[in-house]
Amino acid sequence: MKKVSLSVAAVSVAMGLGSASAADLGKVYTKAPPLIEVVSPWDFAFGGAIMSNYVFRGVTQSNNQPAGTVYFEPRYNVTPNLQLYVGSAATSISFANRAAAEIDIYGGIRPTFGPVAFDFGVFGYLYPGGTCTGGLPGSGTDANVICPNEANPVFLANGNVMKKDVSFYEVYGKVAYTFNDYFTLGGNVFYSPNFLNTGADGTYASITGKITAPGTFFGTSGIGAYVSGEFGRQWLGTSDAFYGTGIPGNQYQFGIDYADYNTWNVGVGFTYKVFTLDLRYSGTDMSQGDCNAFTSDYNASQPNNVTPINPGGIGSKWCGDTFIAKLSADVTLGALK
């Protein structure tokens, strides 16, 4: 009996030791729980571009010459379908008032509902470094007369005039519907109570479309492609007395009732990683005479372009059809991770 009892006790001890060892080994080799990755709601987009011509709604802002731009846009993702953003951009320009550059400050909100994406915000266009501009001394647009507070006004031989500061802001709303991976259709509306600080209100509305080529279109090269276009209309009100035709000897009594116009563009683009090459045709139906009255083109010289708002008859090519080549790079920090 003692031998049996000892045997049972020995087995019990052995089993106990075995269980304890297994438990200890189990603790050693058990996998740690998976780490939960914390995704920051912040993201930052930035980039730049060089282009053969800086065209804004069918009108060149760079005297039909090359231009460059850079931008930076912090973003905060409240939810996966709601983004807040602010941004700033700088672009080279060539205006009659010799402004140094276009500086853009903007911000807004981008809510998304399934395939429908909205964008609402405010866009400010700043043009620092400008100088009040008028015609030659003794002319009906004498800069010494229309720029009484300017120490060194600019004189233009063609008689065009421009304010020292043409900064303005717009409020906007955009919507885009993504039908599938290949086709997107959108619409935009912009409104300014004082477009280009002329005193005239401005409303711009457009429809846009984009067709993206399938990912296998260029095989495994990593090159993407798209075709896109826009058709828009710019409505403009009447300027203040600084700009005007009026009557001989008192041409600044009245403002200019700027001509409304249509504009369009269509082009093809190629993408590779963060780079995009966009080749685009842009045009408007604005006449050269009305274009001169609207833009104050400092080198306008086309004769026989008399219109009700351009009695001098000098025409501008700043609103004509043009081809634009643009190479850009766009990066987000989120995409780099």
Q: Which residue has the higher pLDDT, 71 or 221?
A: 71
Region 118-130: mean pLDDT is 98
Q: What is the pLDDT of residues 139-148, one digit of tens each?
A: 878 899 889 8
Region 106-133: mean pLDDT is 98
pLDDT at 39: 77
Q: Is 297 helix (H, G, I), strand (E, B) or coil?
A: coil
- Residue 217 belongs to a domain: yes
Q: Which residues of 250-279 are buried (b: 16+ CB within 10 A; e: fewer)?
A: ebbebbbbbbebebbbebbbebeeeebebe
What predicted TM-score, i.e. pTM, was given to this entire model? 0.86
- Residue 12 belongs to a domain: no
- Residue 60 belongs to a domain: yes
Q: Which domain holds residue 312?
A: 44-130+165-336
What are the CA-CA distances from residue 96 to residues 124, 147, 218, 276, 294 (Å)?
Answer: 20, 14, 45, 31, 12
Report how far residue 327's alpha carbon sits from residue 173's, in angstroms, rounded to the nearest whole number: 27
pLDDT at 216: 82
Beta-sheet strands, E only, within the chain? 42-51, 55-56, 59-60, 67-79, 82-91, 102-113, 116-126, 133-135, 154-156, 168-178, 183-192, 202-212, 223-236, 261-272, 275-284, 322-332
Q: Which residue has the higher pLDDT, 142 or 39?
A: 142
249: confidence class by pLDDT, cuts 50, 70, 90: very low
pLDDT at 74: 98
Region 95-110: mean pLDDT is 97
Tally of structural domains, the chain: 1
Q: What is the pLDDT of residues 162-204, one digit of tens each?
A: 999 999 999 999 999 999 999 999 999 999 999 999 999 999 9
pLDDT over threshold 50, residue 107: yes
pLDDT over threshold 70, residue 126: yes
Of 51, 82, 56, 83, nearest to 66 by C-alpha is: 51
Q: Which residue has the higher pLDDT, 325 or 3?
A: 325
pLDDT at 247: 44
Own/partner pairs, 241-248, CB within 8 angstroms, 24+ separation: 242/146, 242/161, 242/163, 242/198, 242/199, 243/161, 243/198, 243/199, 243/293, 243/296, 245/308, 245/309, 245/310, 245/311, 248/140
Q: Beta strands 133-135 and 154-156: pairing type?
A: parallel
Report how far residue 108's alpha carbon sits from residue 106's, in angstroms, rounded to the nearest whole number: 7
31: confidence class by pLDDT, cuts 50, 70, 90: low
DSSP codes of every residue in 2-53: HHHHHHHHHHHHHHHHHHHHHHHHHHHHPPPPPP-----SEEEEEEEEEES-
- Residue 1 belongs to a domain: no
pLDDT at 103: 98
pLDDT at 337: 67
* 16-25, 42-51, 113-122, 224-233: least confidently modelled range: 16-25
- Residue 178 belongs to a domain: yes
- How remote is the C-alpha of 232 from its chain's centroid? 16
275: domain CATH number is 2.40.160.40
- Residue 34 belongs to a domain: no
pLDDT at 254: 77
pLDDT at 32: 63
